[in-house]
Structure 1
Amino acid sequence: MVRKPAKMYRNLAKKAYTRREYMGGVPGSKIVQFDMGNLTEDYPVELSIVVDETCQIRHTALEAARIGINRQLQKEVGRANFHLKIRTFPHHVLRENKQATGAGADRVSEGMRLAFGKAVGTAARVEKGQKVFSVWTSPQYVDKAKVSLKRGIYKLPTPARIVEERAPAA
Protein backbone atom coordinates (compact mmCIF):
# COMPACT_ATOMS: atom_id res chain seq x y z
CA MET A 1 0.00 0.00 0.00
CA VAL A 2 1.34 3.39 -0.97
CA ARG A 3 1.22 6.02 1.76
CA LYS A 4 -0.50 9.20 0.71
CA PRO A 5 1.14 12.59 1.30
CA ALA A 6 0.46 14.20 4.67
CA LYS A 7 -1.22 17.18 3.01
CA MET A 8 -4.19 14.93 2.19
CA TYR A 9 -4.90 14.35 5.89
CA ARG A 10 -3.53 17.52 7.49
CA ASN A 11 -6.69 19.68 7.55
CA LEU A 12 -9.64 19.15 9.87
CA ALA A 13 -12.30 18.76 7.21
CA LYS A 14 -14.89 16.62 8.97
CA LYS A 15 -15.85 15.72 12.49
CA ALA A 16 -13.75 13.22 14.41
CA TYR A 17 -14.11 9.57 13.44
CA THR A 18 -13.07 7.73 16.58
CA ARG A 19 -15.62 5.05 17.50
CA ARG A 20 -13.49 1.96 16.98
CA GLU A 21 -16.11 -0.40 18.37
CA TYR A 22 -18.09 0.11 15.14
CA MET A 23 -15.10 -0.32 12.83
CA GLY A 24 -13.16 -3.34 11.77
CA GLY A 25 -9.55 -3.45 10.73
CA VAL A 26 -8.19 -0.21 12.14
CA PRO A 27 -4.39 -0.34 11.90
CA GLY A 28 -2.57 -0.01 15.20
CA SER A 29 -0.65 3.08 16.19
CA LYS A 30 3.07 3.11 15.43
CA ILE A 31 3.83 5.10 18.58
CA VAL A 32 5.79 2.76 20.83
CA GLN A 33 6.27 4.86 23.99
CA PHE A 34 4.69 8.02 25.33
CA ASP A 35 7.13 8.64 28.23
CA MET A 36 10.91 8.35 27.87
CA GLY A 37 14.00 9.19 29.87
CA ASN A 38 14.11 9.55 33.65
CA LEU A 39 10.49 9.38 34.83
CA THR A 40 11.20 9.63 38.56
CA GLU A 41 12.95 12.98 38.91
CA ASP A 42 11.31 16.43 38.87
CA TYR A 43 13.10 18.91 36.62
CA PRO A 44 12.84 22.71 36.91
CA VAL A 45 12.65 23.49 33.16
CA GLU A 46 9.92 22.43 30.75
CA LEU A 47 10.39 22.83 27.00
CA SER A 48 7.39 22.13 24.77
CA ILE A 49 6.60 21.98 21.07
CA VAL A 50 3.48 24.10 20.54
CA VAL A 51 1.66 23.98 17.19
CA ASP A 52 0.73 27.23 15.45
CA GLU A 53 -2.15 25.88 13.33
CA THR A 54 -5.07 23.53 13.91
CA CYS A 55 -4.37 20.30 12.03
CA GLN A 56 -4.13 16.52 12.13
CA ILE A 57 -0.79 14.85 12.80
CA ARG A 58 -0.53 11.24 11.65
CA HIS A 59 0.76 8.61 14.03
CA THR A 60 3.74 7.96 11.76
CA ALA A 61 4.80 11.62 11.99
CA LEU A 62 4.46 11.58 15.78
CA GLU A 63 6.60 8.44 15.98
CA ALA A 64 9.23 9.86 13.62
CA ALA A 65 9.44 13.05 15.69
CA ARG A 66 9.63 11.03 18.92
CA ILE A 67 12.48 8.91 17.60
CA GLY A 68 14.43 11.96 16.43
CA ILE A 69 13.98 13.88 19.68
CA ASN A 70 14.68 10.90 21.93
CA ARG A 71 17.80 9.80 20.05
CA GLN A 72 19.26 13.31 20.08
CA LEU A 73 18.49 13.78 23.78
CA GLN A 74 20.04 10.46 24.75
CA LYS A 75 23.16 11.26 22.77
CA GLU A 76 23.60 14.85 23.95
CA VAL A 77 22.08 14.92 27.45
CA GLY A 78 22.05 11.32 28.67
CA ARG A 79 19.09 9.15 29.60
CA ALA A 80 19.13 10.17 33.27
CA ASN A 81 18.88 13.92 32.64
CA PHE A 82 15.55 14.41 30.86
CA HIS A 83 11.92 13.31 30.70
CA LEU A 84 10.24 13.33 27.27
CA LYS A 85 6.46 13.00 26.95
CA ILE A 86 4.12 12.85 23.96
CA ARG A 87 1.11 14.98 24.93
CA THR A 88 -1.33 13.89 22.19
CA PHE A 89 -2.82 10.55 21.17
CA PRO A 90 -3.89 9.60 17.63
CA HIS A 91 -7.60 8.83 18.19
CA HIS A 92 -8.94 9.95 14.81
CA VAL A 93 -9.20 7.14 12.23
CA LEU A 94 -8.25 8.09 8.67
CA ARG A 95 -10.15 6.55 5.76
CA GLU A 96 -9.28 6.13 2.11
CA ASN A 97 -11.40 5.07 -0.85
CA LYS A 98 -9.02 2.77 -2.69
CA GLN A 99 -8.92 3.18 -6.46
CA ALA A 100 -7.70 0.45 -8.78
CA THR A 101 -5.18 1.50 -11.42
CA GLY A 102 -3.82 -0.12 -14.52
CA ALA A 103 -5.40 -2.13 -17.31
CA GLY A 104 -8.99 -3.14 -16.67
CA ALA A 105 -9.33 -0.89 -13.65
CA ASP A 106 -12.64 0.46 -14.89
CA ARG A 107 -14.16 -3.03 -14.65
CA VAL A 108 -12.75 -3.68 -11.16
CA SER A 109 -13.14 -0.32 -9.46
CA GLU A 110 -16.47 0.87 -8.11
CA GLY A 111 -15.72 4.55 -8.62
CA MET A 112 -17.67 6.72 -6.19
CA ARG A 113 -20.28 4.08 -5.39
CA LEU A 114 -20.05 3.15 -1.68
CA ALA A 115 -17.11 5.55 -1.33
CA PHE A 116 -16.97 5.59 2.48
CA GLY A 117 -13.44 4.19 2.49
CA LYS A 118 -11.44 1.80 4.62
CA ALA A 119 -9.37 2.66 7.66
CA VAL A 120 -5.75 3.28 6.67
CA GLY A 121 -4.26 4.88 9.79
CA THR A 122 -4.80 7.17 12.74
CA ALA A 123 -4.09 10.81 13.47
CA ALA A 124 -4.05 13.17 16.43
CA ARG A 125 -6.24 16.24 16.03
CA VAL A 126 -4.42 19.22 17.54
CA GLU A 127 -5.64 22.76 18.10
CA LYS A 128 -3.65 25.95 17.68
CA GLY A 129 -1.51 26.52 20.78
CA GLN A 130 -1.64 22.89 21.93
CA LYS A 131 1.48 21.17 23.28
CA VAL A 132 2.49 18.09 21.31
CA PHE A 133 5.80 17.13 22.95
CA SER A 134 7.30 18.21 26.28
CA VAL A 135 10.79 17.76 27.67
CA TRP A 136 11.63 18.37 31.32
CA THR A 137 15.32 18.86 32.06
CA SER A 138 17.91 20.74 34.11
CA PRO A 139 18.96 24.32 33.27
CA GLN A 140 22.41 23.28 32.02
CA TYR A 141 20.85 21.10 29.28
CA VAL A 142 18.27 23.59 27.97
CA ASP A 143 20.18 24.51 24.80
CA LYS A 144 20.76 20.89 23.83
CA ALA A 145 17.11 20.04 24.51
CA LYS A 146 16.01 22.93 22.28
CA VAL A 147 18.15 21.59 19.44
CA SER A 148 16.60 18.14 19.80
CA LEU A 149 13.06 19.56 19.85
CA LYS A 150 13.88 21.56 16.73
CA ARG A 151 14.75 18.26 15.07
CA GLY A 152 11.32 16.95 16.02
CA ILE A 153 9.54 20.01 14.59
CA TYR A 154 10.93 19.18 11.15
CA LYS A 155 9.01 15.89 11.22
CA LEU A 156 5.62 17.50 11.91
CA PRO A 157 3.24 18.65 9.13
CA THR A 158 2.47 22.01 10.72
CA PRO A 159 4.41 25.08 11.82
CA ALA A 160 5.40 24.88 15.47
CA ARG A 161 7.53 26.66 18.03
CA ILE A 162 9.38 25.81 21.22
CA VAL A 163 8.08 27.29 24.47
CA GLU A 164 10.18 27.33 27.64
CA GLU A 165 8.67 27.33 31.12
CA ARG A 166 10.67 27.41 34.32
CA ALA A 167 9.42 26.32 37.71
CA PRO A 168 9.39 29.11 40.29
CA ALA A 169 12.39 29.00 42.60
CA ALA A 170 11.37 27.78 46.03
Structure 2
Amino acid sequence: INRKLNKEIGRANYHLKLRTYPHHVLRENKQATGAGADRVSQGMRLAFGKAVGTAARVRQNQKIFTVFSNPAGIEKIKDALRHGGHKLPSPTHLVIEMKQES
Protein backbone atom coordinates (compact mmCIF):
# COMPACT_ATOMS: atom_id res chain seq x y z
CA ILE A 1 0.00 0.00 0.00
CA ASN A 2 2.79 2.39 0.96
CA ARG A 3 4.77 1.75 -2.23
CA LYS A 4 1.70 2.21 -4.44
CA LEU A 5 0.67 5.44 -2.68
CA ASN A 6 4.22 6.77 -2.82
CA LYS A 7 4.36 6.16 -6.57
CA GLU A 8 0.82 7.35 -7.37
CA ILE A 9 0.26 10.48 -5.24
CA GLY A 10 3.71 11.36 -3.88
CA ARG A 11 5.47 11.02 -0.56
CA ALA A 12 4.31 14.29 1.00
CA ASN A 13 0.62 13.98 0.06
CA TYR A 14 -0.52 11.23 2.44
CA HIS A 15 0.04 9.72 5.89
CA LEU A 16 -0.37 5.93 6.17
CA LYS A 17 -0.84 4.57 9.68
CA LEU A 18 -0.66 0.86 10.56
CA ARG A 19 -2.93 0.43 13.57
CA THR A 20 -2.47 -3.32 14.19
CA TYR A 21 1.05 -4.74 14.27
CA PRO A 22 1.69 -8.51 13.90
CA HIS A 23 3.52 -9.20 17.17
CA HIS A 24 2.06 -12.63 18.03
CA VAL A 25 4.75 -15.25 17.24
CA LEU A 26 3.50 -18.47 15.61
CA ARG A 27 5.46 -21.60 16.59
CA GLU A 28 5.55 -25.14 15.24
CA ASN A 29 6.76 -28.32 16.92
CA LYS A 30 8.22 -30.37 14.07
CA GLN A 31 7.44 -34.08 14.25
CA ALA A 32 9.66 -36.70 12.66
CA THR A 33 7.94 -39.00 10.19
CA GLY A 34 8.86 -42.21 8.43
CA ALA A 35 10.53 -45.42 9.55
CA GLY A 36 12.14 -45.25 12.98
CA ALA A 37 10.54 -41.92 13.83
CA ASP A 38 9.50 -43.18 17.26
CA ARG A 39 13.17 -43.71 18.22
CA VAL A 40 14.26 -40.27 16.94
CA SER A 41 11.33 -38.09 17.96
CA GLN A 42 10.81 -36.75 21.48
CA GLY A 43 7.06 -36.32 20.98
CA MET A 44 5.60 -33.51 23.10
CA ARG A 45 8.50 -33.38 25.58
CA LEU A 46 9.84 -29.79 25.80
CA ALA A 47 7.61 -28.86 22.84
CA PHE A 48 8.24 -25.11 22.67
CA GLY A 49 8.68 -25.15 18.90
CA LYS A 50 10.47 -22.93 16.42
CA ALA A 51 9.13 -19.58 15.23
CA VAL A 52 7.54 -19.93 11.78
CA GLY A 53 5.86 -16.52 11.45
CA THR A 54 3.98 -13.70 13.11
CA ALA A 55 0.30 -12.80 13.28
CA ALA A 56 -1.94 -10.01 14.52
CA ARG A 57 -5.13 -10.61 16.46
CA VAL A 58 -7.87 -8.57 14.81
CA ARG A 59 -11.46 -8.23 15.97
CA GLN A 60 -14.41 -7.69 13.66
CA ASN A 61 -14.68 -4.09 12.39
CA GLN A 62 -11.26 -3.20 13.85
CA LYS A 63 -9.27 -0.64 11.85
CA ILE A 64 -6.04 -2.02 10.40
CA PHE A 65 -4.82 0.83 8.17
CA THR A 66 -5.68 4.52 8.23
CA VAL A 67 -4.72 6.97 5.49
CA PHE A 68 -4.85 10.74 5.99
CA SER A 69 -4.77 12.82 2.80
CA ASN A 70 -6.46 15.60 0.88
CA PRO A 71 -9.60 14.68 -1.14
CA ALA A 72 -7.79 15.02 -4.48
CA GLY A 73 -6.20 11.55 -4.29
CA ILE A 74 -9.16 9.64 -2.83
CA GLU A 75 -9.60 7.31 -5.82
CA LYS A 76 -5.93 6.30 -5.87
CA ILE A 77 -5.99 5.74 -2.09
CA LYS A 78 -9.08 3.52 -2.39
CA ASP A 79 -7.41 1.52 -5.16
CA ALA A 80 -4.20 1.03 -3.13
CA LEU A 81 -6.13 -0.08 -0.03
CA ARG A 82 -8.27 -2.46 -2.09
CA HIS A 83 -5.16 -4.08 -3.60
CA GLY A 84 -3.50 -4.31 -0.18
CA GLY A 85 -6.64 -5.86 1.33
CA HIS A 86 -6.36 -8.79 -1.09
CA LYS A 87 -3.07 -9.75 0.53
CA LEU A 88 -4.64 -10.07 3.98
CA PRO A 89 -6.04 -13.46 5.04
CA SER A 90 -9.49 -12.20 6.06
CA PRO A 91 -12.13 -10.21 4.16
CA THR A 92 -11.68 -6.44 4.26
CA HIS A 93 -13.82 -3.40 3.51
CA LEU A 94 -13.15 0.31 3.17
CA VAL A 95 -14.72 3.03 5.29
CA ILE A 96 -14.24 6.59 4.08
CA GLU A 97 -14.59 9.47 6.52
CA MET A 98 -14.38 13.03 5.30
CA LYS A 99 -13.37 15.61 7.90
CA GLN A 100 -14.62 19.15 7.44
CA GLU A 101 -12.10 21.89 8.15
CA SER A 102 -13.37 24.70 10.33
Q: TM-score, normalised by structure 1?
A: 0.54
- Out of 112, 118, 124, which is 2:56 matched to? 124
Cα distance in 2 for residues equivalent to 1:91 and 1:147: 27
- Offset at residue 152 of structure 1 (A): 0.7
Structure 1 unmatched ranges of 5 or more: 1-68
- Out of 139, 144, 154, which is 2:86 matched to? 154
Say how many residue pairs are matched: 102
Q: Which residue of 1 aligns with 2:43?
A: 111
**Any residues of structure 2 matched to 1:15-164 within 5 Å, and which?**
69-102=1-34, 104-164=36-96
Q: Which has the larger radius of gyration?
A: 2
User: Taking every aligned residue pair, what percent have the same amino acid on both sides?
Assistant: 65
Cα distance in 1 for residues equivalent to 2:15 and 2:61: 21
Cα distance in 1 for residues equivalent to 2:81 and 2:97: 14
The structure that is strand-richer by fraction is 1
Q: TM-score, normalised by structure 2?
A: 0.85
Root-mean-square deviation (CA, aligned residues, Å) is 1.9
Structure 2 unmatched ranges of 5 or more: none
